[in-house]
Structure 1
Amino acid sequence: MKIVYIALKGMPLGGGIEKYTEELGSRLVKKGHKIIVYCSPYYQTRNNEYKGMKIKILPCINTKSLQKISLCFLASLDQFLEKDIDIVHYHAVGPSIFSFLPRMLGRKTVVQIHGIEWKRPKWGYLGKTFFKLSDLSAVYFPNKVTAVSKVLKDFYEKKFGREVVYIPTGVNKPIKRPPKKIKKFGLNGNDYIFFAARLVPDKGCHYLIDAFNELKTDLKLVIAGDAPHEEGYKRILYEKAQGNRNIIFTGFIHGELLEEFFSNAYIYVLPSEIEGLPTSLLEAMSYGNCCVVSDIPENLEALGNYGYSFKSKDYKDLKRCLQTLIDKPELIYEKKKDVAEYVCKHYSWDKIADEFEQLYYEMLKN
């Protein structure tokens, strides 16, 4: 098959959707399929081949609200120039408004839902209205709809009465690394609380900083991540952390350094307000970490009984949870025992690639 993915910020850099496409696309290449991935030009990505996937860079309007949608529009037009396309795969609800275009050439389309976009706090009235309307295109324009969590599947099936196929996010078996590179941050391992996500309001990093500032502990807080077009929010985070030498901002990290941070964390925290199925949480679990998450349904679905939760948007409750774990370390080690085996068994990228391959073949038969 020849499969197109629309569209990513960059490859290999980016966020959860970028990670998803990298893992899925590279496995489909090994199965003998041809993969084209459309990306923006703003994330150090170039027109080339990456892990066997053809990367195509297109221009787009580089603002928070227009970058993704303008990129997806041009990608939806550019795919007309590619011959023998079998499947066009759209990531997320917003870009789904263009998913009718490939069907004009008889190409099969799938929209993958990664979250209920209109719930994200960063969007104003116009943005929320657009994404509520995009929910309609996400379920009615493509040939098939998939969702990365059971929570999302149930939400869209109940709201629109159309079948949504559940195919989750995945993890790789981790490479556990001893603390070497992290020592440049003054860390020795097992001496920090770890947060790894985009620095956008809905990931809730501000709640974590507020909670950490009130903890009685010698642990440090490592905040790994970045985000374009979010200078205002990042400034708020830096101001909250000002004066606390135990808070470390690493910026965007990946590769061996990220693996080291996951391998040697004392506690991993994800205080998000909204998720699809959080890739970073699954990664943290795969490394055998004790994880603390906000109690939104998507986080609890991923976590199962293998971690702890606190009331979403309540930094006082997060502080209570973290202080309890710090004061009673046996509670931390209790959750570390079986978490890696659980998540690697239930969220395997190899299994996910098999499921998407089967779905694509079924679409071509009908």
Structure 2
Amino acid sequence: MKSGGSDGRPTVAILGTRGVPAAHGGFETLAERLALELVARGWRVEVYCQVREPAPPMVWRGILLIPVAVRGDGAVSTIVFDLKCTLRAAFRPALPLVLGYNTAVFSLLYRLTAKRSVMNMDGIEWKRDRWSKPAKAWFWLNERLGSLFSTHLVADHPEIARHLARRTSAARITTIAYGADPVLEASTEPLATFGLRPRDYGLLIARVVPENLVLQIVRAWSEVRPGLPLLVLGKLAESDPYHRAVRAAGGPDVIFAGAIYEAERVAALRFHARFHIHGHTVGGTNPSLVEALGAGSPILAHDNPFNRWVAGPQALYFGDETELRRGILGLVRAGPRRLEVMGEASRRRHAEAFTWRGIFDAYERVLRRQLAPRRQGREARPAVRREHGRA
């Protein structure tokens, strides 16, 4: 099926998110930024959007928004939404770009209709501690079905690409990371809300789940008592036992700010922090870490291949709580020159691998290859293709 509009422009449909304008970060932000950029480059772009009540398609900033009505907000509603989107996209001319593999089983429809599709395989979701065994089994199955049914795969990290290459041809995988805007200046007004001063607090931004080590970080900070506050951004619910444990571990220097969704406020809090702590242990390229690099933040991160590739050799790393406490004290006591060197290294790493322009260029190359006429035979490639980002 040809993926072009009646006017001959290349056409792509973005699925797998709740839609745009972005309201939930992560994939929604990628969908919005990529869609707007492709429109500016002459593409026709469709984005499927989850709504509660039926509504007609509409155009927003040059993007065709296709509302798909689904009642509810839970996992079942998401599955129903994804199924409805796939049923529509399978019989429309646009090339599907699916963000996430959580319902990759539905991509069988693209195979049955001889339609090419591209899927961003996200992180290794089935390894996350927060999911039940049935949920992990579902993610494990869909990761494999996504690798089987999608014509081409996007991995957001070289480790994810290597993981996927164990079960499919490396020629079908392209590594494209996540982007962030550089933050070169920011207002200090958001700091006043929490009684903070520039370069005089640590920052933790994370979903409050066990695999992000939020409890260990809060506990380590409270035990060390470094003499300056730790600002924690992340939604906490009293009904969640893990969240209650995190709150209970917080000493007087820990400020729980909840979730903040205003991008400018979050960017300012990143920009003015003394350093950023990143405890994520599972997954690929994490947007929060990339955004910290773009803000020029010194980084203290959990030591794993995902974080080391993203943050680079100038960041500090910890493997356990002893090393975490040592790292906190080291950065609290560090002189201005050391923090400046670490911040400059963060900016270099961001410019090298995580600019939005580089991400957009890489996606456009992948999409155009899928729109190109089919050629006989296969081109053998010895390694996973890497479009943007270097080790």
> TM-score over 0.5 for the alignment?
yes
Residue 17 (structure 1) aligned with residue 14 (structure 2) = no
Find the aligned partners of 1:351 and 1:20 in 2 and give their Cα distance.
13
Partner of 1:38: 48
Change in 2 beyond 3 A, CA 1:345/1:27: same
Return the offset for 1:61: 4.6
> Which residue in 2 is equivalent to 1:208?
217
1:275 and 1:75 mapped to 2: Cα distance?
26
Q: Hey, what's the Cα distance between the residues in 1 that align with 2:77 and 2:48? A: 13
Question: Equivalent of 2:265, from 253, 257, 262?
Answer: 257
1:336 equivalent to 2:343? Answer: yes
Distance verdict in 2 for CA 1:245–1:219, change over 3 Å? closer
C-alpha deviation, 1:257, in angstroms: 0.7
Kindly provide the CA deviation profile for residues 112-148 of structure 1, in whole angstroms up to 9, marking residues without a partner as x: 1111111111112212222222222121101111101
Q: CA separation of 1:333/1:27 partners in 2, compared to 1, >3 Å: closer, same or farther?
A: same
Using the alignment, how far apart are the partners of 1:70 and 1:227 within structure 2? 28
Q: SS of the residue aligned with 2:117?
A: strand
Q: Distance in 2 between matches of 1:137 and 1:358?
A: 24
3-state SS of 2:108 partner: coil
Matched, 1:138 2:146: yes
Larger Rg: 2
Aligned to 1:236: 245
Q: Which residue of 2 aligns with 1:218?
A: 227
Q: Which runs of 5+ in 2 are unaligned?
A: 1-9, 375-391
* Matching residue within 39, 59, 81 for 2:70: 59
- 1:295-310 alignment runs, 5 A limit: 295-310=303-318
Q: Is the 8 A contact 1:93 1:111 kept in 2?
A: yes
Residue aligning to 2:129: 121
- Alignment-derived partner of residue 355 in structure 2: 348
TM-score (norm 1): 0.88
Question: May I ask how many residue pairs the two structures share in their alignment?
Answer: 357
The code of the aligned residue for 1:320 comes to R
Partners of 1:40 and 1:60 within 8 A in 2: no
With over 3 angstroms needed to count, the CA separation of the structure-2 counterparts of 1:325 and 1:110, relative to structure 1, is same
Q: Distance in 2 between matches of 1:323 and 1:225?
A: 23
1:324-351 per-residue CA deviation (whole Å, 9 max, x = no partner) reads 2212335433312232133123222112
What are the equivalent positions in structure 2 for 1:153-168 lying under 5 Å apart? 153-163=161-171, 164-168=173-177
Q: Which residue of 2 aligns with 1:195?
A: 204
Is the 8 Å Cα contact of residues 205 and 271 (structure 1) preserved in structure 2? yes
Unaligned runs of 5+ in 1: none
Q: Which shifted more, 7-16 or 176-185?
A: 7-16
Distance in 2 (alpha carbons) for counterparts of 1:21 and 1:67: 20
Contact 1:172–1:344 under 8 Å retained in 2? no
CA displacement at 1:232 relative to structure 2: 4.4
Is 1:315 equivalent to 2:317 in the alignment? Answer: no
Percent of aligned pairs sharing the same letter: 21
Q: Which amino acid aligns with 2:259?
A: G
1:295-351 Cα shifts (integer Å, max 9, x gaps): 12111110111311111xx33321221112212335433312232133123222112
Separation of aligned partners in 2, 1:106 and 1:248: 51
Tell whether the 8 Å contact from 1:216 to 1:323 is kept in structure 2 after alignment. Answer: no
CA shift, 1:204, in A, is 2.4
Whether the 8 Å contact between 2:68 and 2:85 is mirrored in structure 1 is: no
Residue aligned with 1:207, SS:
helix
Q: Is residue 78 of structure 2 the alignment partner of residue 68 of structure 1?
A: yes
Segments of 4+ moved more than 6 angstroms: 227-230
What's the CA shift for 1:9? 3.6
State how far apart, in whole Å, the 1-side matches of 2:225 and 2:245 are. 23
8 A contact 2:16–2:100 mirrored in 1: no
Distance in 2 separating the partners of 1:14 and 1:3: 22
Corresponding position: 1:283 with 2:294: no
Distance 1:306 1:13, change over 3 A: farther
Q: CA separation of 1:49/1:321 partners in 2, compared to 1, >3 Å: closer, same or farther?
A: farther
Question: How far did 1:259 drift?
Answer: 1.6
Question: 2: CA distance between counterparts of 1:359 and 1:112?
Answer: 11
Structure 2 counterpart of 1:6: 15
Return the offset for 1:92.
1.8
Contact persistence 1:7–1:68 (CA under 8 A) = no
Q: Deviations over 1:212-258 (max 9, x none)?
A: 111232221112233899844433333333x5253232423222211
